[in-house]
Structure 1
Amino acid sequence: MSQVSIKPLTWIGYLEGTSFLLLLFIAMPLKYQMGIVEPVKYLGMAHGVLFMLYVYMLMSTAAKIKLPLWAMPSGVLASLLPFGPFVFDKLLKRSLNS
């Protein structure tokens, strides 16, 4: 399988993973330690949109190319964990290249 066909999934996964990390490690401490709520409001909304787009891209990619059976549930689970989309992308690329 070509990595070009999973490139949109990779990009959205990186954006979603980065937004989650920013939300967890920057916006949440600002909210609960300094009382600044705006970063959570905007990063939370961006993360929500990126999460939905990531799940859509995962389903779309699975429909276009034959992803391994473990890829769909693992991709959704990975999106719920910090650094998960980055690890999932690496595992998926390794699986498709072998």
Structure 2
Amino acid sequence: MEMKEEKNRLVLLNDEGQEAGEMTWSNAGEDIMIIDHTFVDPAYRGQQLAEGLVRKGVEIARRDHKEVIPLCPYAKREFEQKSEYSDVLRK
């Protein structure tokens, strides 16, 4: 499974190059990233792929010096469960 960064989007590609999942965000100004959508195709669920998308989103936020507002329910739950993301969580 390959993860590719696009503009305001991370995409998961299966071995055939087809989309298997995504995480999208919008920017609120220069320093805030709003994660608004996380999806993994049902055929690929149970492999921590959505977790990996959020983790990569956190890495991007750190790289770009942004705070994150996890609007998507899945991302919000990830931020609630992982204290290591607190450094980028917009309070």
- The structure having more radius of gyration, on CA atoms, is 1
Structure (1 or 2) with the greater strand fraction? 2
Q: TM-score under structure 2 normalisation?
A: 0.36
Structure (1 or 2) with the greater helix fraction? 1
